[in-house]
Structure 1
Amino acid sequence: MTSNQLGKVLCHSIYTPKKITAMLVLTWLYPALVCSLPFFGIGKWGYSDKYKTCTQDTSAESSDLFSSLGSAFIFPIQLIILFVCYFKIYRHVTGHMKKMVEKGIEMPDSSTASNSSTTVKINKRQLEITKNLFIVVCAFIACLAPFFIALLIPPSDPIIPWTGAIIIFNSAVNPVIYGVKHPHFKEVLRHMLRCRYHMIPEPSSCLRTMRTK
Protein backbone atom coordinates (compact mmCIF):
# COMPACT_ATOMS: atom_id res chain seq x y z
CA MET A 1 0.00 0.00 0.00
CA THR A 2 1.43 3.39 -1.02
CA SER A 3 1.45 6.47 1.23
CA ASN A 4 -1.39 8.02 -0.80
CA GLN A 5 -3.52 4.88 -0.45
CA LEU A 6 -2.75 4.75 3.26
CA GLY A 7 -3.82 8.39 3.62
CA LYS A 8 -7.12 7.71 1.87
CA VAL A 9 -7.86 4.71 4.08
CA LEU A 10 -7.13 6.75 7.20
CA CYS A 11 -9.35 9.62 6.01
CA HIS A 12 -12.30 7.32 5.29
CA SER A 13 -11.96 5.57 8.67
CA ILE A 14 -11.41 8.68 10.80
CA TYR A 15 -13.39 11.43 9.08
CA THR A 16 -16.84 9.87 9.02
CA PRO A 17 -19.86 12.23 9.11
CA LYS A 18 -20.62 11.34 12.75
CA LYS A 19 -17.03 11.86 13.87
CA ILE A 20 -16.73 15.15 12.00
CA THR A 21 -19.96 16.36 13.60
CA ALA A 22 -18.67 15.40 17.05
CA MET A 23 -15.38 17.19 16.39
CA LEU A 24 -17.14 20.37 15.30
CA VAL A 25 -19.52 20.35 18.27
CA LEU A 26 -16.70 19.79 20.74
CA THR A 27 -14.50 22.40 19.05
CA TRP A 28 -17.16 25.08 19.51
CA LEU A 29 -18.82 23.89 22.71
CA TYR A 30 -15.76 23.63 24.96
CA PRO A 31 -14.41 27.17 24.32
CA ALA A 32 -17.98 28.49 24.66
CA LEU A 33 -18.24 26.91 28.11
CA VAL A 34 -14.94 28.45 29.18
CA CYS A 35 -16.01 31.85 27.85
CA SER A 36 -19.30 31.60 29.75
CA LEU A 37 -17.55 31.69 33.14
CA PRO A 38 -18.54 35.37 33.63
CA PHE A 39 -22.18 34.27 33.62
CA PHE A 40 -21.35 32.33 36.80
CA GLY A 41 -19.77 35.32 38.50
CA ILE A 42 -16.17 34.56 37.53
CA GLY A 43 -14.58 37.43 35.66
CA LYS A 44 -16.24 39.96 33.39
CA TRP A 45 -16.04 40.63 29.67
CA GLY A 46 -15.48 44.24 28.69
CA TYR A 47 -12.88 46.93 28.08
CA SER A 48 -9.54 46.51 29.79
CA ASP A 49 -7.94 49.78 30.87
CA LYS A 50 -4.73 47.90 31.61
CA TYR A 51 -4.28 46.47 28.10
CA LYS A 52 -6.42 48.97 26.16
CA THR A 53 -8.29 46.12 24.49
CA CYS A 54 -11.82 44.73 24.45
CA THR A 55 -11.22 41.40 26.16
CA GLN A 56 -11.98 41.03 29.85
CA ASP A 57 -12.57 43.80 32.36
CA THR A 58 -9.37 43.60 34.44
CA SER A 59 -10.90 45.86 37.08
CA ALA A 60 -13.31 43.10 38.14
CA GLU A 61 -12.49 41.47 41.47
CA SER A 62 -12.41 37.94 40.01
CA SER A 63 -10.37 38.93 36.95
CA ASP A 64 -7.25 37.07 38.09
CA LEU A 65 -9.31 33.96 38.86
CA PHE A 66 -10.90 34.12 35.41
CA SER A 67 -7.46 34.32 33.79
CA SER A 68 -6.12 31.43 35.86
CA LEU A 69 -9.09 29.18 35.13
CA GLY A 70 -8.99 30.04 31.45
CA SER A 71 -5.32 29.14 31.31
CA ALA A 72 -5.84 25.90 33.24
CA PHE A 73 -8.86 24.76 31.21
CA ILE A 74 -7.56 25.56 27.73
CA PHE A 75 -3.81 25.15 27.29
CA PRO A 76 -3.10 21.85 29.13
CA ILE A 77 -6.03 20.10 27.44
CA GLN A 78 -4.95 21.30 24.00
CA LEU A 79 -1.42 20.14 24.71
CA ILE A 80 -2.55 16.68 25.85
CA ILE A 81 -4.80 16.23 22.81
CA LEU A 82 -1.96 17.31 20.52
CA PHE A 83 0.52 14.89 22.07
CA VAL A 84 -1.95 11.98 22.02
CA CYS A 85 -3.01 12.56 18.39
CA TYR A 86 0.50 12.93 17.03
CA PHE A 87 1.74 9.99 19.07
CA LYS A 88 -1.02 7.80 17.63
CA ILE A 89 -0.21 9.02 14.12
CA TYR A 90 3.46 8.22 14.65
CA ARG A 91 2.67 4.76 16.07
CA HIS A 92 0.33 3.94 13.18
CA VAL A 93 2.72 5.08 10.45
CA THR A 94 5.79 3.42 11.94
CA GLY A 95 3.82 0.22 12.52
CA HIS A 96 2.70 0.22 8.89
CA MET A 97 6.24 0.79 7.69
CA LYS A 98 7.54 -2.01 9.90
CA LYS A 99 5.03 -4.40 8.31
CA MET A 100 6.22 -3.28 4.87
CA VAL A 101 9.83 -4.11 5.82
CA GLU A 102 8.86 -7.53 7.18
CA LYS A 103 6.78 -8.25 4.09
CA GLY A 104 9.71 -7.32 1.84
CA ILE A 105 12.07 -9.58 3.78
CA GLU A 106 9.67 -12.51 3.57
CA MET A 107 9.38 -12.31 -0.23
CA PRO A 108 11.51 -15.15 -1.67
CA ASP A 109 12.27 -13.43 -4.99
CA SER A 110 13.59 -10.22 -3.42
CA SER A 111 17.33 -9.78 -3.22
CA THR A 112 19.29 -8.80 -0.12
CA ALA A 113 20.37 -5.54 -1.72
CA SER A 114 16.78 -4.66 -2.56
CA ASN A 115 15.62 -5.42 0.98
CA SER A 116 18.44 -3.34 2.41
CA SER A 117 17.59 -0.40 0.15
CA THR A 118 13.90 -0.60 1.10
CA THR A 119 14.76 -0.69 4.80
CA VAL A 120 17.00 2.36 4.47
CA LYS A 121 14.29 4.33 2.65
CA ILE A 122 11.67 3.43 5.24
CA ASN A 123 13.99 4.32 8.13
CA LYS A 124 14.65 7.70 6.53
CA ARG A 125 10.90 8.22 6.11
CA GLN A 126 10.33 7.38 9.79
CA LEU A 127 13.00 9.88 10.77
CA GLU A 128 11.38 12.58 8.64
CA ILE A 129 7.97 11.91 10.17
CA THR A 130 9.42 12.05 13.68
CA LYS A 131 11.17 15.34 12.95
CA ASN A 132 8.04 16.90 11.43
CA LEU A 133 5.85 15.89 14.37
CA PHE A 134 8.45 17.19 16.81
CA ILE A 135 8.63 20.54 15.00
CA VAL A 136 4.82 20.91 15.01
CA VAL A 137 4.59 20.17 18.74
CA CYS A 138 7.48 22.55 19.53
CA ALA A 139 5.87 25.33 17.45
CA PHE A 140 2.58 24.85 19.31
CA ILE A 141 4.26 25.02 22.72
CA ALA A 142 6.45 27.99 21.74
CA CYS A 143 3.47 30.02 20.49
CA LEU A 144 0.90 29.25 23.19
CA ALA A 145 2.86 28.55 26.36
CA PRO A 146 4.12 32.15 26.95
CA PHE A 147 0.60 33.59 27.01
CA PHE A 148 -0.95 31.01 29.32
CA ILE A 149 2.05 31.03 31.65
CA ALA A 150 1.85 34.84 31.77
CA LEU A 151 -1.81 34.60 32.84
CA LEU A 152 -0.78 32.51 35.85
CA ILE A 153 1.94 34.96 36.94
CA PRO A 154 0.47 38.37 37.92
CA PRO A 155 3.80 40.32 37.70
CA SER A 156 4.04 39.39 34.00
CA ASP A 157 1.04 41.57 33.08
CA PRO A 158 2.94 43.92 30.72
CA ILE A 159 3.86 41.11 28.30
CA ILE A 160 0.38 39.59 28.03
CA PRO A 161 -0.66 41.59 24.91
CA TRP A 162 2.56 40.59 23.16
CA THR A 163 2.25 36.92 24.04
CA GLY A 164 -1.36 37.08 22.87
CA ALA A 165 -0.13 38.26 19.47
CA ILE A 166 2.17 35.22 19.30
CA ILE A 167 -0.88 32.95 19.69
CA ILE A 168 -2.38 34.48 16.55
CA PHE A 169 0.91 33.83 14.75
CA ASN A 170 0.53 30.11 15.58
CA SER A 171 -2.35 29.89 13.09
CA ALA A 172 0.11 30.50 10.26
CA VAL A 173 2.90 28.25 11.51
CA ASN A 174 1.58 24.77 10.70
CA PRO A 175 0.91 25.42 6.97
CA VAL A 176 4.47 26.72 6.65
CA ILE A 177 5.92 23.69 8.45
CA TYR A 178 3.99 21.22 6.31
CA GLY A 179 4.64 23.22 3.17
CA VAL A 180 8.38 23.21 3.76
CA LYS A 181 8.91 19.77 5.28
CA HIS A 182 6.28 17.47 3.76
CA PRO A 183 6.99 16.51 0.10
CA HIS A 184 3.31 16.27 -0.91
CA PHE A 185 2.34 19.52 0.78
CA LYS A 186 5.44 21.16 -0.68
CA GLU A 187 4.45 20.24 -4.22
CA VAL A 188 0.88 21.49 -3.81
CA LEU A 189 1.99 24.70 -2.09
CA ARG A 190 4.51 25.40 -4.85
CA HIS A 191 1.82 25.10 -7.52
CA MET A 192 -0.58 27.28 -5.48
CA LEU A 193 1.98 30.07 -5.02
CA ARG A 194 2.71 30.02 -8.77
CA CYS A 195 -1.02 29.90 -9.63
CA ARG A 196 -0.53 26.60 -11.46
CA TYR A 197 -3.69 24.98 -10.13
CA HIS A 198 -3.98 22.67 -13.12
CA MET A 199 -0.75 20.95 -12.03
CA ILE A 200 -1.95 20.09 -8.51
CA PRO A 201 -2.12 16.28 -8.16
CA GLU A 202 -5.39 14.75 -6.95
CA PRO A 203 -7.29 18.08 -6.79
CA SER A 204 -10.31 18.42 -4.54
CA SER A 205 -13.83 18.59 -6.00
CA CYS A 206 -13.92 22.33 -5.25
CA LEU A 207 -10.66 22.90 -7.12
CA ARG A 208 -11.86 20.79 -10.05
CA THR A 209 -14.97 22.92 -10.24
CA MET A 210 -12.92 26.13 -10.22
CA ARG A 211 -10.68 24.81 -12.98
CA THR A 212 -13.60 24.03 -15.26
CA LYS A 213 -14.99 27.57 -15.04
Structure 2
Amino acid sequence: MDSPDLPNLPEAQLCFALANNSCPRKERSAATVCVMYLVMTGAIVVTMLGNTVVIVSIVHFKQLHSPTNFLILSMATTDFLLSCVVMPFSMIRSIESCWYFGDLFCKVHSCCDITLCTTSIFHLCFISVDRYYAVCDPLHYVTKVTIPVVGLFLLLSWSIPILFAFGLVFSELNLIGAEDLVAAMDCAGLCVLIFNKLWAVLASFIAFFLPGTVMVGIYIHIFTVARRHARQIGTGPRMKWPGSESKEQVTSKKENKATKTLSIVLGAFVSCWLPFFVLTITDPFIGFTTPEDLYDVFLWLGYFNSTFNPIIYGMFYPWFRKALRLIVTGMIFRPQSSTLNLFPGHP
Protein backbone atom coordinates (compact mmCIF):
# COMPACT_ATOMS: atom_id res chain seq x y z
CA MET A 1 0.00 0.00 0.00
CA ASP A 2 1.72 3.15 -1.20
CA SER A 3 2.00 6.24 0.97
CA PRO A 4 -0.49 8.96 0.10
CA ASP A 5 0.84 11.64 -2.17
CA LEU A 6 -0.33 15.07 -1.09
CA PRO A 7 0.26 17.64 -3.82
CA ASN A 8 -1.85 20.78 -3.60
CA LEU A 9 -5.20 19.03 -3.81
CA PRO A 10 -8.51 20.92 -3.81
CA GLU A 11 -10.31 20.88 -0.48
CA ALA A 12 -13.02 18.62 -1.93
CA GLN A 13 -10.37 15.91 -2.44
CA LEU A 14 -9.16 15.94 1.16
CA CYS A 15 -10.65 14.12 4.15
CA PHE A 16 -10.10 17.15 6.39
CA ALA A 17 -9.80 20.45 4.52
CA LEU A 18 -8.31 22.33 7.50
CA ALA A 19 -5.74 19.72 8.49
CA ASN A 20 -2.16 20.08 7.36
CA ASN A 21 -1.65 16.33 6.91
CA SER A 22 -5.07 15.29 5.66
CA CYS A 23 -5.36 12.07 3.68
CA PRO A 24 -6.54 12.40 0.08
CA ARG A 25 -10.18 11.53 -0.52
CA LYS A 26 -11.01 9.17 -3.36
CA GLU A 27 -13.23 10.73 -5.98
CA ARG A 28 -16.22 8.64 -7.01
CA SER A 29 -19.14 9.44 -9.29
CA ALA A 30 -22.49 10.20 -7.66
CA ALA A 31 -23.99 7.07 -9.24
CA THR A 32 -21.21 4.86 -7.82
CA VAL A 33 -21.61 6.34 -4.34
CA CYS A 34 -25.40 5.88 -4.48
CA VAL A 35 -25.12 2.23 -5.54
CA MET A 36 -22.49 1.49 -2.87
CA TYR A 37 -24.62 3.04 -0.13
CA LEU A 38 -27.70 1.13 -1.30
CA VAL A 39 -25.91 -2.25 -1.40
CA MET A 40 -24.08 -1.81 1.92
CA THR A 41 -27.08 -0.32 3.73
CA GLY A 42 -29.20 -3.17 2.43
CA ALA A 43 -26.68 -5.69 3.76
CA ILE A 44 -26.64 -3.98 7.16
CA VAL A 45 -30.45 -3.89 7.42
CA VAL A 46 -30.87 -7.52 6.35
CA THR A 47 -28.15 -8.63 8.77
CA MET A 48 -29.73 -6.67 11.59
CA LEU A 49 -33.33 -7.75 10.98
CA GLY A 50 -32.54 -11.38 10.15
CA ASN A 51 -30.50 -11.93 13.28
CA THR A 52 -33.06 -10.04 15.39
CA VAL A 53 -35.73 -12.52 14.31
CA VAL A 54 -33.48 -15.45 15.27
CA ILE A 55 -32.71 -13.87 18.67
CA VAL A 56 -36.35 -13.06 19.47
CA SER A 57 -37.53 -16.50 18.33
CA ILE A 58 -35.11 -18.50 20.45
CA VAL A 59 -35.45 -16.25 23.52
CA HIS A 60 -39.26 -16.07 23.41
CA PHE A 61 -40.37 -19.59 22.51
CA LYS A 62 -39.66 -22.12 25.24
CA GLN A 63 -39.75 -24.98 22.76
CA LEU A 64 -36.54 -23.60 21.22
CA HIS A 65 -34.58 -23.61 24.47
CA SER A 66 -32.07 -26.33 23.56
CA PRO A 67 -28.25 -26.51 23.62
CA THR A 68 -28.06 -26.35 19.82
CA ASN A 69 -30.30 -23.30 19.62
CA PHE A 70 -28.29 -21.54 22.34
CA LEU A 71 -25.29 -21.79 20.02
CA ILE A 72 -27.35 -20.34 17.17
CA LEU A 73 -28.66 -17.62 19.52
CA SER A 74 -25.14 -16.57 20.47
CA MET A 75 -24.03 -16.55 16.83
CA ALA A 76 -27.04 -14.44 15.88
CA THR A 77 -26.13 -12.01 18.68
CA THR A 78 -22.59 -11.82 17.32
CA ASP A 79 -23.79 -11.11 13.79
CA PHE A 80 -26.34 -8.56 15.08
CA LEU A 81 -23.59 -6.68 16.95
CA LEU A 82 -21.45 -6.74 13.82
CA SER A 83 -24.26 -5.08 11.86
CA CYS A 84 -24.66 -2.36 14.54
CA VAL A 85 -21.13 -1.68 15.78
CA VAL A 86 -18.84 -2.47 12.85
CA MET A 87 -20.55 -2.46 9.47
CA PRO A 88 -21.97 1.12 9.47
CA PHE A 89 -18.56 2.69 10.17
CA SER A 90 -16.86 0.36 7.69
CA MET A 91 -19.43 1.43 5.10
CA ILE A 92 -18.54 5.12 5.49
CA ARG A 93 -14.81 4.34 5.38
CA SER A 94 -15.18 2.15 2.28
CA ILE A 95 -17.28 4.64 0.32
CA GLU A 96 -15.76 7.93 1.43
CA SER A 97 -12.21 6.47 1.68
CA CYS A 98 -11.83 8.53 4.86
CA TRP A 99 -12.08 7.84 8.59
CA TYR A 100 -13.89 10.63 10.42
CA PHE A 101 -14.12 9.13 13.92
CA GLY A 102 -10.68 9.62 15.49
CA ASP A 103 -7.64 7.45 16.11
CA LEU A 104 -8.84 5.87 19.36
CA PHE A 105 -12.16 4.75 17.88
CA CYS A 106 -10.24 3.49 14.86
CA LYS A 107 -8.44 1.05 17.16
CA VAL A 108 -11.62 0.14 19.02
CA HIS A 109 -13.44 -0.40 15.73
CA SER A 110 -10.64 -2.62 14.44
CA CYS A 111 -10.76 -4.65 17.66
CA CYS A 112 -14.54 -5.06 17.43
CA ASP A 113 -14.23 -5.99 13.76
CA ILE A 114 -11.70 -8.75 14.44
CA THR A 115 -13.52 -9.92 17.57
CA LEU A 116 -17.00 -10.22 16.09
CA CYS A 117 -15.92 -11.71 12.76
CA THR A 118 -13.70 -14.28 14.48
CA THR A 119 -16.40 -15.03 17.07
CA SER A 120 -18.92 -15.65 14.30
CA ILE A 121 -16.50 -18.06 12.58
CA PHE A 122 -15.83 -19.88 15.89
CA HIS A 123 -19.58 -20.29 16.38
CA LEU A 124 -19.88 -21.86 12.93
CA CYS A 125 -17.08 -24.25 13.89
CA PHE A 126 -18.73 -25.32 17.15
CA ILE A 127 -22.11 -25.68 15.41
CA SER A 128 -20.39 -28.14 13.05
CA VAL A 129 -19.24 -30.10 16.13
CA ASP A 130 -22.83 -30.12 17.38
CA ARG A 131 -24.07 -31.37 13.99
CA TYR A 132 -21.39 -34.08 13.98
CA TYR A 133 -22.77 -35.66 17.15
CA ALA A 134 -26.36 -35.17 16.00
CA VAL A 135 -25.80 -36.99 12.69
CA CYS A 136 -22.92 -39.38 13.38
CA ASP A 137 -23.57 -40.34 17.00
CA PRO A 138 -27.28 -39.64 17.62
CA LEU A 139 -27.62 -42.19 20.43
CA HIS A 140 -25.11 -40.30 22.59
CA TYR A 141 -25.99 -36.80 21.38
CA VAL A 142 -28.03 -35.87 24.46
CA THR A 143 -25.21 -36.87 26.81
CA LYS A 144 -22.44 -35.36 24.68
CA VAL A 145 -23.93 -31.95 23.84
CA THR A 146 -25.23 -30.62 27.14
CA ILE A 147 -25.75 -27.12 28.52
CA PRO A 148 -22.31 -27.12 30.28
CA VAL A 149 -20.62 -28.24 27.04
CA VAL A 150 -22.37 -25.51 25.04
CA GLY A 151 -21.38 -23.05 27.78
CA LEU A 152 -17.74 -24.05 27.22
CA PHE A 153 -18.18 -23.61 23.46
CA LEU A 154 -19.57 -20.10 24.03
CA LEU A 155 -16.79 -19.19 26.46
CA LEU A 156 -14.14 -20.21 23.94
CA SER A 157 -16.00 -18.55 21.04
CA TRP A 158 -16.03 -15.17 22.81
CA SER A 159 -12.95 -15.10 25.05
CA ILE A 160 -10.32 -16.18 22.51
CA PRO A 161 -11.31 -13.59 19.84
CA ILE A 162 -11.59 -10.79 22.44
CA LEU A 163 -8.16 -11.48 23.96
CA PHE A 164 -6.64 -11.99 20.53
CA ALA A 165 -8.09 -8.83 18.93
CA PHE A 166 -7.59 -6.31 21.73
CA GLY A 167 -4.22 -7.75 22.72
CA LEU A 168 -2.88 -7.62 19.17
CA VAL A 169 -4.18 -4.18 18.16
CA PHE A 170 -3.27 -2.30 21.36
CA SER A 171 0.13 -4.02 21.76
CA GLU A 172 0.85 -3.19 18.07
CA LEU A 173 2.68 -6.50 17.62
CA ASN A 174 1.25 -6.58 14.11
CA LEU A 175 3.24 -3.44 13.21
CA ILE A 176 6.71 -4.72 14.16
CA GLY A 177 8.87 -4.47 11.04
CA ALA A 178 6.39 -2.21 9.25
CA GLU A 179 7.19 1.02 11.12
CA ASP A 180 8.51 2.78 8.02
CA LEU A 181 5.35 2.01 6.09
CA VAL A 182 3.16 3.24 8.94
CA ALA A 183 5.15 6.48 9.17
CA ALA A 184 4.92 7.04 5.41
CA MET A 185 1.16 6.46 5.41
CA ASP A 186 0.43 8.60 8.48
CA CYS A 187 -2.23 11.20 7.71
CA ALA A 188 -5.49 12.47 9.18
CA GLY A 189 -8.43 10.37 8.06
CA LEU A 190 -6.68 7.02 7.69
CA CYS A 191 -7.84 3.87 9.51
CA VAL A 192 -6.24 0.69 8.20
CA LEU A 193 -5.15 -2.47 9.98
CA ILE A 194 -1.68 -3.49 8.85
CA PHE A 195 -0.24 -6.96 9.51
CA ASN A 196 3.43 -7.81 9.24
CA LYS A 197 4.30 -11.13 7.61
CA LEU A 198 4.30 -13.10 10.86
CA TRP A 199 0.96 -11.85 12.16
CA ALA A 200 -0.69 -11.96 8.75
CA VAL A 201 -0.13 -15.71 8.81
CA LEU A 202 -0.88 -16.20 12.53
CA ALA A 203 -4.02 -14.05 12.56
CA SER A 204 -5.43 -15.76 9.46
CA PHE A 205 -4.64 -19.17 10.91
CA ILE A 206 -6.34 -18.41 14.25
CA ALA A 207 -9.36 -16.60 12.83
CA PHE A 208 -10.07 -18.67 9.73
CA PHE A 209 -7.85 -21.55 8.65
CA LEU A 210 -7.90 -23.47 11.94
CA PRO A 211 -11.70 -23.35 12.52
CA GLY A 212 -12.27 -23.63 8.77
CA THR A 213 -10.21 -26.81 8.54
CA VAL A 214 -12.13 -28.28 11.47
CA MET A 215 -15.42 -27.42 9.76
CA VAL A 216 -14.39 -28.90 6.42
CA GLY A 217 -13.16 -32.11 8.06
CA ILE A 218 -16.32 -32.53 10.14
CA TYR A 219 -18.71 -31.77 7.30
CA ILE A 220 -16.91 -34.16 4.92
CA HIS A 221 -17.35 -36.86 7.55
CA ILE A 222 -21.02 -35.93 7.97
CA PHE A 223 -21.51 -36.08 4.17
CA THR A 224 -19.98 -39.56 4.14
CA VAL A 225 -22.19 -40.81 6.98
CA ALA A 226 -25.34 -39.27 5.44
CA ARG A 227 -24.65 -40.89 2.06
CA ARG A 228 -23.99 -44.24 3.73
CA HIS A 229 -27.29 -43.99 5.59
CA ALA A 230 -29.10 -43.06 2.37
CA ARG A 231 -27.57 -46.08 0.59
CA GLN A 232 -28.52 -48.40 3.43
CA ILE A 233 -32.09 -47.11 3.28
CA GLY A 234 -32.20 -47.56 -0.49
CA THR A 235 -30.71 -51.07 -0.57
CA GLY A 236 -32.13 -52.45 2.69
CA PRO A 237 -34.85 -55.13 2.72
CA ARG A 238 -38.29 -53.80 1.91
CA MET A 239 -40.75 -54.13 4.77
CA LYS A 240 -44.11 -55.53 3.79
CA TRP A 241 -46.42 -53.90 6.28
CA PRO A 242 -48.29 -50.73 5.32
CA GLY A 243 -46.46 -47.45 5.89
CA SER A 244 -42.94 -48.92 5.98
CA GLU A 245 -42.01 -47.55 2.57
CA SER A 246 -43.17 -44.04 3.46
CA LYS A 247 -41.01 -44.10 6.59
CA GLU A 248 -37.98 -45.02 4.50
CA GLN A 249 -38.73 -42.21 2.09
CA VAL A 250 -39.12 -39.70 4.92
CA THR A 251 -35.80 -40.76 6.47
CA SER A 252 -34.05 -40.55 3.09
CA LYS A 253 -35.47 -37.09 2.47
CA LYS A 254 -34.24 -35.93 5.88
CA GLU A 255 -30.74 -37.23 5.13
CA ASN A 256 -30.72 -35.51 1.73
CA LYS A 257 -31.99 -32.25 3.22
CA ALA A 258 -29.34 -32.33 5.98
CA THR A 259 -26.60 -32.97 3.42
CA LYS A 260 -27.87 -30.15 1.18
CA THR A 261 -28.08 -27.71 4.09
CA LEU A 262 -24.54 -28.53 5.23
CA SER A 263 -23.28 -28.05 1.67
CA ILE A 264 -24.80 -24.58 1.57
CA VAL A 265 -23.40 -23.72 5.02
CA LEU A 266 -19.88 -24.80 4.07
CA GLY A 267 -20.04 -23.25 0.60
CA ALA A 268 -21.22 -19.88 1.92
CA PHE A 269 -18.58 -19.83 4.67
CA VAL A 270 -15.65 -20.65 2.36
CA SER A 271 -16.86 -18.38 -0.47
CA CYS A 272 -17.32 -15.40 1.85
CA TRP A 273 -14.14 -15.57 3.93
CA LEU A 274 -11.45 -17.39 1.91
CA PRO A 275 -10.66 -14.48 -0.49
CA PHE A 276 -10.21 -12.02 2.40
CA PHE A 277 -7.84 -14.20 4.41
CA VAL A 278 -5.82 -15.21 1.36
CA LEU A 279 -5.43 -11.50 0.61
CA THR A 280 -4.48 -10.79 4.25
CA ILE A 281 -1.66 -13.33 4.07
CA THR A 282 -0.32 -12.31 0.65
CA ASP A 283 -0.48 -8.52 1.08
CA PRO A 284 2.67 -8.10 3.28
CA PHE A 285 4.60 -10.45 0.99
CA ILE A 286 3.86 -8.28 -2.07
CA GLY A 287 4.85 -5.03 -0.37
CA PHE A 288 1.33 -3.96 0.70
CA THR A 289 0.41 -3.17 -2.90
CA THR A 290 -3.16 -4.51 -2.76
CA PRO A 291 -5.61 -1.91 -4.13
CA GLU A 292 -7.78 -0.45 -1.37
CA ASP A 293 -11.00 -1.11 -3.27
CA LEU A 294 -10.14 -4.80 -3.72
CA TYR A 295 -9.48 -5.09 0.01
CA ASP A 296 -12.87 -3.50 0.74
CA VAL A 297 -14.67 -5.84 -1.66
CA PHE A 298 -13.21 -8.92 0.03
CA LEU A 299 -13.88 -7.49 3.50
CA TRP A 300 -17.55 -6.88 2.70
CA LEU A 301 -17.81 -10.32 1.16
CA GLY A 302 -16.76 -11.63 4.57
CA TYR A 303 -19.35 -9.42 6.28
CA PHE A 304 -22.01 -10.94 4.01
CA ASN A 305 -21.46 -14.28 5.75
CA SER A 306 -23.14 -12.72 8.80
CA THR A 307 -25.97 -11.64 6.49
CA PHE A 308 -26.37 -15.18 5.15
CA ASN A 309 -26.18 -16.94 8.54
CA PRO A 310 -29.77 -16.21 9.67
CA ILE A 311 -31.02 -17.14 6.21
CA ILE A 312 -29.14 -20.44 6.15
CA TYR A 313 -29.73 -21.42 9.77
CA GLY A 314 -33.21 -19.94 9.86
CA MET A 315 -35.06 -20.27 6.57
CA PHE A 316 -34.18 -23.97 6.24
CA TYR A 317 -36.05 -24.79 9.45
CA PRO A 318 -39.88 -24.85 9.57
CA TRP A 319 -39.87 -23.61 13.17
CA PHE A 320 -38.13 -20.43 12.06
CA ARG A 321 -40.70 -19.70 9.39
CA LYS A 322 -43.55 -20.24 11.87
CA ALA A 323 -41.81 -18.08 14.48
CA LEU A 324 -41.32 -15.36 11.86
CA ARG A 325 -45.05 -15.36 11.07
CA LEU A 326 -45.92 -15.12 14.78
CA ILE A 327 -43.49 -12.21 15.25
CA VAL A 328 -44.62 -10.28 12.15
CA THR A 329 -48.32 -10.69 13.00
CA GLY A 330 -47.73 -9.65 16.62
CA MET A 331 -49.01 -12.92 18.05
CA ILE A 332 -45.98 -13.19 20.33
CA PHE A 333 -47.54 -10.44 22.46
CA ARG A 334 -50.50 -12.65 23.31
CA PRO A 335 -50.60 -14.48 26.66
CA GLN A 336 -48.99 -17.94 26.65
CA SER A 337 -47.54 -17.39 23.18
CA SER A 338 -44.16 -18.58 24.42
CA THR A 339 -45.57 -22.11 24.81
CA LEU A 340 -46.90 -22.41 21.25
CA ASN A 341 -45.89 -25.48 19.25
CA LEU A 342 -43.47 -24.56 16.43
CA PHE A 343 -42.75 -28.05 15.15
CA PRO A 344 -45.20 -29.48 12.58
CA GLY A 345 -46.35 -32.98 13.42
CA HIS A 346 -45.50 -32.66 17.11
CA PRO A 347 -48.22 -32.39 19.77
What band does the TM-score fall into relative to the shorter chain? 0.5 to 0.7
The structural deviation recorded for 1:202 is 5.6
Residue 290 of structure 2 is aligned to residue 156 of structure 1:
yes
Tell me the distance in 2 between the aligned counterparts of 1:190 and 1:128.
Answer: 23
**CA 1:67–1:181 in 2, change beyond 3 Å: closer, same or farther?**
same
Query: Which of 300, 311, 314 is matched with 1:179 structurally?
Result: 314
Residue 183 of structure 2 is aligned to residue 43 of structure 1:
no
Tell me the distance in 2 between the aligned counterparts of 1:40 and 1:169.
Answer: 28
Q: Which residue of 2 aligns with 1:82?
A: 215
Residue 259 of structure 2 is aligned to residue 130 of structure 1:
yes
Q: Which residue of 1 aligns with 2:341?
A: 201
Tell me the distance in 2 between the aligned counterparts of 1:53 and 1:136.
Answer: 35
**CA 1:191–1:89 in 2, change beyond 3 Å: closer, same or farther?**
farther
The structural deviation recorded for 1:117 is 1.7
Residue by residue, what CA displacement relative to the aligned partner does 1:154-189 show, whole Å, maximum 9, x if unpaired? 243421222222222211212112332222322223
Q: Which amino acid aligns with 2:175?
A: G
Tell me the distance in 2 between the aligned counterparts of 1:202 and 1:163.
Answer: 38
Instruction: Summarize the alignment of residues 11-50 of structure 1 with structure 2, pairs less than 5 Å apart.
Output: 13-17=144-148, 19-35=149-165, 36-37=167-168, 39=171, 41-43=173-175
Tell me the distance in 1 between the aligned counterparts of 2:192 and 2:212.
Answer: 23
- Whether the aligned pair in 1 keeps the contact of 2:322 and 2:342 (CA below 8 Å) is no
Q: Which amino acid aligns with 1:156?
A: T
Tell me the secondary structure at the aligned position of residue 42 of structure 1: helix
The structural deviation recorded for 1:85 is 4.9
Instruction: Summarize the alignment of residues 86-125 of structure 1 with structure 2, pairs less than 5 Å apart.
Output: 86=219, 111-125=240-254
Tell me the distance in 1 between the aligned counterparts of 2:141 and 2:318.
Answer: 19
The structural deviation recorded for 1:138 is 0.7
Q: Which amino acid aligns with 2:211?
A: Q
Q: Which amino acid aligns with 1:30?
A: I
Instruction: Summarize the alignment of residues 159-170 of structure 1 with structure 2, pairs less than 5 Å apart.
Output: 159-170=294-305
Structure 2 unpaired stretches of 5+: 1-63, 67-133, 177-181, 284-288
**CA 1:119–1:169 in 2, change beyond 3 Å: closer, same or farther?**
same
Q: Which amino acid aligns with 2:304?
A: F
The structural deviation recorded for 1:121 is 1.5
Tell me the distance in 2 between the aligned counterparts of 1:89 and 1:196.
Answer: 38
TM-score by length of 2: 0.43
**Alpha-carbon RMSD:** 4.1
Identity of aligned pairs, percent? 22
Tell me the distance in 2 between the aligned counterparts of 1:127 and 1:73.
Answer: 32
Tell me the distance in 2 between the aligned counterparts of 1:161 and 1:53.
Answer: 14
The structural deviation recorded for 1:23 is 1.7
Number of positions where the alignment pairs a residue of Structure 1 with one of Structure 2: 186
- Whether the aligned pair in 2 keeps the contact of 1:83 and 1:137 (CA below 8 Å) is yes
Higher RCO (CA < 8 A, seq sep 6+): 2
